[in-house]
């Protein structure tokens, strides 16, 4: 869970309830029951959509909100991915999803709709530099040596 208070902590019990039988539960603003507070600028919407599309095309990750910072991961799933992780930047979910899909092709991932609030604390890190680092990290992640199952 990100520390900027945008994720509604009231979603945690529902996410935990959804976790039974799943390797991961992702709190998403883009699936059924999810929403975004206020109006995002066209630039912010474009960045989000572009990042989601790039993630699908480059990494083959097919979830509605791979940029989410709000997720649960089962201990067995964590134990399968941890030795291959080399987290850089602030999007650890991408790395976990990519590696989990490689080591456990039958990984069960569930999406849970959440209410994504306006930022209460801190400031956005979104900048041209962060956007470029994101695309570099996608390409680097593809080179991660993970045994395919």
Closest by CA position to 102, among listed 141, 46, 64, 131: 141
For residue 141, the SS3 value is helix
**For the chain, domain boundaries:** 9-142
Q: Is the dihedral of CA 22, 56, 122, 112 positive or negative?
A: negative
Phi first, then psi, for residue 47 (nearest 5°) are -60, -45
Residue 11: Cβ-neighbour burial (10 angstroms; 0-12, 13-18, 19+):
buried
pLDDT of the chain, 149 residues: tens digit per residue: 667 777 888 899 999 999 999 999 999 989 899 888 887 788 888 888 898 899 999 998 889 988 888 999 999 999 999 988 876 666 789 889 999 988 887 899 999 999 888 776 666 777 788 788 888 888 888 887 776 66
The SS3 call for residue 21 is coil
Decide if 48 contacts 131 (C-beta within 8 A): no
């Amino acid at each position: 869970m990100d520390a900027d208070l945008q994720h509604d902590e009231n979603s945690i019990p529902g996410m935990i309830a959804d976790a039974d039988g799943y390797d991961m539960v992702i709190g998403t603003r883009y699936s059924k029951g999810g929403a975004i507070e206020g109006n995002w600028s066209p630039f912010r919407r474009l960045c989000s959509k572009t990042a989601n599309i790039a993630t699908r095309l480059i990494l083959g990750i097919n979830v509605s909100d791979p940029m989410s910072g709000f997720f649960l991961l089962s201990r067995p799933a964590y134990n399968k991915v941890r030795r291959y992780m080399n987290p850089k930047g602030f999007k650890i979910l991408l790395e976990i999803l990519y590696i989990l899909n490689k080591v456990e092709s039958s990984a069960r991932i569930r999406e849970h709709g959440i209410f994504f609030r306006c930022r209460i604390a801190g400031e956005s890190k979104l900048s041209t530099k962060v956007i470029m680092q994101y695309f570099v990290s996608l390409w680097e992640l593809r080179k991660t040596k993970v045994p395919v199952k």
